[in-house]
């Protein structure tokens, strides 16, 4: 039987459409436990490839005959080997092109909404890692927000849309992934904006984002208003776009809130986090559509693959916005936190320009889920 | 250490370092020692887990100039 190649894009479509898929993950058990392809109708079997070198007979009966079968490994090589063995035994199977490396780097652009005078806003869903970036387009110009290091994807998209990138912004100094912001700004000549309070130690030139700043995109001037919203980092900033969208960075997610401890300052920042979520955000219009910088679980994706919800819905449904007692809130966001993202210190230093790891090293640093939230 | 055989898996990508290691191991006698040289980043965790699951003993591990060196004793 045939061995087929499935791309990260095809797997993403299956997950968004909630289709059934059987994944045979042949990575180490630790790697599988730590991070895997998630989806509502995915069934898993994890057997490391090195236990299958003598043949696949032992697992053959554990593999269903009525589902699409996808073999997954870290970089592709082992999954091809196992897929060929299964194929030789008579199964029709696919392997994931580029393995979990490709899965981690795949971005799926999804339109979030229209802005005035033909403007548009797109969300770039990094489905394997739960990172969300944004592009705002207006009248031949574009702004990119919270870009990942896969800069080609943004540049290709801008080219296809015939817009020039004029502004690149990060809502905060990221700790879970390497920002593509500086590189995009260098490649396009755009201005690179970072919150001044997060950028104290950066080694490069940037435009300081301060509370109340307005960045204009296109001649029709779509406005991005900066709203200082500390808590995840001291400089964390949210953006209000045309009084319609709230880009909430790592402060507020769909089903969780930002964690205050990734710069080692949980105790200091928990008060800011509370103030931002329970006072500053309360003053905003409940009709704003919240567009966060992350999602943690596939359930946070809407049916069309977007991650977005109205602010007043989150004030009702998001547990993190409904903890009445301040002492309880402090406890929840500073105690029993999930493990910190892989290599988060090195990632912060990279984003400050203090260290410049090679591409392969950057990839290794970003392995695993983002873990920016408390739930 | 009395090394019986050396496997040079430098420059090879997963799964080849383990495929070669296993093949060489199959030809050794119990108690003999295999040295494996690899550069693939995943080799460290995979060879360690493989040795454990197959019952061989990972005697030592070191890293020199981006080359991982393993010494494995056949069970």
For every residue of chain B, DSSP letters joined together read: --EEEEEEETTPPTTHHHHHHHHHHHHSPTT-EEEEEE--TTHHHHHHHHHHHHT-EEEEEEEETTEEEEEEE--
Domain with CATH 3.40.250.10 in chain A: 3-103
Task: Please compute the mean of the pLDDT values over residues B13-31 and round it to a whole number.
Answer: 94
**What pLDDT sits at residue A266?**
80
**What pLDDT sits at residue A369?**
80
CATH number of the domain located at residue range(s) A107-374 in this protein: 3.60.15.10
Neighbours of A90 (CB within 10 A): 9
**What pLDDT sits at residue A298?**
87
Our count of domains for chain B comes to 1
Domain with CATH 3.60.15.10 in chain A: 107-374
- CB contacts of A51 in chain B (<8 Å) are 50, 53
Q: Cα-Cα-Cα-Cα dihedral of A102, A105, A111, A114, to 10°?
A: -160
- Dihedral class, residue A162 (left if φ above 0, else alpha if ψ from -120 to 50, else beta): left
Q: Name the token pair of A343.
A: 């290599």
Rounded CA gap, A110 and A298, in Å?
A: 15
**The model's pTM:** 0.89
Instruction: Give the residue ranges of chain A where pLDDT is below 50.
Output: none
Q: Report yes or no: B30 at the A interface, CB cutoff 8 Å.
A: no
- CB contacts of B41 in chain A (<8 Å) are 360, 364
Mutate to test the interface with B, among A27, A46, A50 (most CBs of B within 10 A): A50
Instruction: Catalytic residue, from B14, B23, B31, B60: name it.
Output: B14
| CATH (domain of B34) | 3.30.110.40
Task: Tell me how far apart the terminal alpha carbons of chain A are, to the nearest angstrom.
Answer: 45
**What pLDDT sits at residue A237?**
94
Q: Report yes or no: A359 at the B interface, CB cutoff 8 Å.
A: no
Edge to edge, what strands does the sheet with A245-249 contain? A214-217, A222-228, A237-241, A245-249, A289-292, A309-310
**What pLDDT sits at residue B42?**
87
Contacting residues for A49 by C-beta, under 8 A, at least 6 apart: A26, A27, A73, A78, A79, A81, A82, B14, B15, B18
Q: What is the DSSP letter of A276?
A: I
Q: CB–CB of A138/A121 below 8 Å?
A: no
**What pLDDT sits at residue A220?**
65
Edge to edge, what strands does the sheet with B67-73 contain? B3-9, B33-38, B67-73, B57-64
Q: Name the token pair of A27.
A: 């990575």
Q: CB–CB of A275/A283 below 8 Å?
A: no
**What pLDDT sits at residue A167?**
96
**What pLDDT sits at residue A1?**
72
CATH topology of domain A3-103: Oxidized Rhodanese; domain 1 (3.40.250)
**What pLDDT sits at residue A268?**
83
**What pLDDT sits at residue A116?**
86
> How far B3 CA lies from chain A's nearest CA (Å)?
23
Contacting residues for A152 by C-beta, under 8 A, at least 6 apart: none
Show the domain range for B16. Answer: 3-73
């Amino acid at each position: 039987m045939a061995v087929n190649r499935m791309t990260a894009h095809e797997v993403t479509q299956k997950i968004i459409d909630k289709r059934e898929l059987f994944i045979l993950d042949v990575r180490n058990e630790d790697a599988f436990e730590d991070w895997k392809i998630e989806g509502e109708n995915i069934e898993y079997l994890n057997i490391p490839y090195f236990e299958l070198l003598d043949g696949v007979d032992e697992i053959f009966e554990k593999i269903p005959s009525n589902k699409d079968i996808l073999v997954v490994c870290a970089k592709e090589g082992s999954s091809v080997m196992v897929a060929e063995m299964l194929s030789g035994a008579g199964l029709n199977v696919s392997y994931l092109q580029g393995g979990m490396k490709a899965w981690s780097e795949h971005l799926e652009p999804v339109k979030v909404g229209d802005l005035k005078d033909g403007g548009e806003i797109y969300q770039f869903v990094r489905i394997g890692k739960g990172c969300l970036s944004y592009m705002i387009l207006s009248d031949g110009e574009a702004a990119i927000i919270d870009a990942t290091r896969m800069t080609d994807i943004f540049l290709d998209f801008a080219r296809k849309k015939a817009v020039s990138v004029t502004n690149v912004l990060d809502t905060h100094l990221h700790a879970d992934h390497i920002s593509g912001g500086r590189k995009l700004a260098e490649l396009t000549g755009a201005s690179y904006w970072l919150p001044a309070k997060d950028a104290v130690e950066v080694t490069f030139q940037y435009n300081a984002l301060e509370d109340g700043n307005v960045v204009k995109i296109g001649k029709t001037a779509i406005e991005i208003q900066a709203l200082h919203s500390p808590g995840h980092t001291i400089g964390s900033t949210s953006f209000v776009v045309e009084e319609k969208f709230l880009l909430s960075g790592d402060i507020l997610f769909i089903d969780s809130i930002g964690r205050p401890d990734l710069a080692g300052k949980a105790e200091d920042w928990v008060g800011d986090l509370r103030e931002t979520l329970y006072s500053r955000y309360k003053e905003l219009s409940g009709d704003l559509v919240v567009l966060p910088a992350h999602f943690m679980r596939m359930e946070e994706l809407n049916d069309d693959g977007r991650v977005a919800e109205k602010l007043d819905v989150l004030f009702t449904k998001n547990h993190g916005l409904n903890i009445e007692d301040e002492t309880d809130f402090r406890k929840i966001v500073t105690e029993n936190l999930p493990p910190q993202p892989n290599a988060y210190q090195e990632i912060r230093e990279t984003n400050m320009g203090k260290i410049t790891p090679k591409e392969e090293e950057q990839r290794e640093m970003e392995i695993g889920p983002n873990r920016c939230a408390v739930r | 250490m009395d090394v019986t055989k050396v496997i040079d898996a430098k420059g090879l990508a997963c799964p080849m370092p383990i495929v070669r290691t296993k093949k060489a191991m199959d030809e050794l006698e119990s108690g003999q020692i295999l040295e494996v040289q690899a550069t693939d980043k995943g080799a460290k965790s995979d060879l360690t887990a493989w040795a454990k699951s197959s019952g061989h003993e990972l005697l030592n591990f070191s890293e020199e100039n981006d080359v991982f060196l393993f010494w494995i004793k056949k069970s």
